[in-house]
Amino acid sequence: MDTTELERVAREIRLRDLQAVFEAGAGHIGGEMSVIDILTALYFHVLNVWPDQPKHPDRDRFVLSKGHTACALYVTLAKRGFISEEEISTFLQPHSRLNGHPNCNKVPGVETNTGPLGHGLPVAVGMAKAAKLSGANYQTYVITGDGEMQEGSNWEALMAAAQFGLDNLTLIVDHNRFQQGASLADTNNVAPLRPKLEAFGWDVTEINGNSMDEIVPALESRGSRPHGIVAHTNKGHGISFMQDRVDWHHKVPSKEQYDIAVAELSEAL
């Protein structure tokens, strides 16, 4: 897909994500809106995956370390054909496969269970190292939140990736500047991220994480070292009253707010 088509798909995913959270009465909608452009670029342009063969040995691996934004991943997987689009209506319902955090034992296309922050990147390092040891050609991609980068396990993983020369690993930090309850700057400010990642031996690209024109080439970039992408995004991107508002980390819109958001996202289609 070209960037125009990717932008259209991202808007459709945002609209379906909004509907799913509203109907379920729960969800981490702000961080889902910030990361959807990156998920769209990965699944519809970059990743070598086969929805009818979700465990194909040659598939690229993707880990959503910020697992609380699972609904955005589910909608993306449905759009890509891993699960039915009708199943999205079961999000968070009793006995549904679509839990609040992704489960690799239940949902095709999910590579590993995530939820406890700081686990996804270490697991992705293991996946990339396994490819090196076995001679496999797949790439591994992982998305973390910027607040999640406060976890020490991530920095141990960064060191290990550089030590092992994992040029088949790409980390994308969803740098929306907010975490649960507060801004990143008011908690444990890990910004600026670029010089820190570079100091740990990574190649780093800094982009607008809500611009397909910048996301796609960054994801396609390859070098001789692990690649980190600092993606500057907006919490609640695409919905005016949510954007850059910390209170939309985990919140459900009222019916009036929902109607406004639907109108805004639909207008952009």
pLDDT in tens, the chain (269 residues): 899 999 999 999 999 999 999 999 999 999 999 999 999 999 999 999 999 999 999 999 999 999 999 999 999 999 999 999 999 999 999 999 999 999 999 999 999 999 899 999 999 999 999 999 999 999 999 999 999 999 999 999 999 999 999 999 999 999 999 998 899 999 999 999 999 999 999 999 999 999 999 999 999 999 999 999 999 999 999 999 999 999 999 999 999 999 999 999 998 77
pLDDT at 269: 73
The DSSP symbol for 60 reads P
Containing structural domain, residue 157: 3-267
* Rounded Cα gap, residues 7 and 13, in angstroms: 10
Backbone angles phi and psi of 174, in degrees to 5:
-80, 95
| Closest C-alpha among 181, 177, 184 to residue 248 | 181
pLDDT at 137: 97
The DSSP symbol for 63 reads E
pLDDT at 181: 87
pTM exceeds cut of 0.75: yes
* Rounded Cα gap, residues 234 and 245, in angstroms: 9
The CA–CA distances, whole Å, from 254 to 15, 31, 141, 203, 245 equal 15, 18, 35, 43, 16
| Closest C-alpha among 135, 81, 136 to residue 109 | 81
Total domain count, the chain? 1
The CA–CA distances, whole Å, from 141 to 11, 58, 176, 212, 250 equal 22, 14, 19, 17, 25
DSSP E strands, the chain = 61-64, 140-145, 169-175, 178-179, 182-183, 203-208, 227-232
Q: What is the CATH number of the domain that holds 61?
A: 3.40.50.970
Helix 3-24 to helix 70-80 angle (10° resolution) is 130
The CA–CA distances, whole Å, from 83 to 106, 138, 259 equal 11, 22, 27
Q: Is the peptide bond before 195 cis (omega within 30 degrees of 0)?
A: no
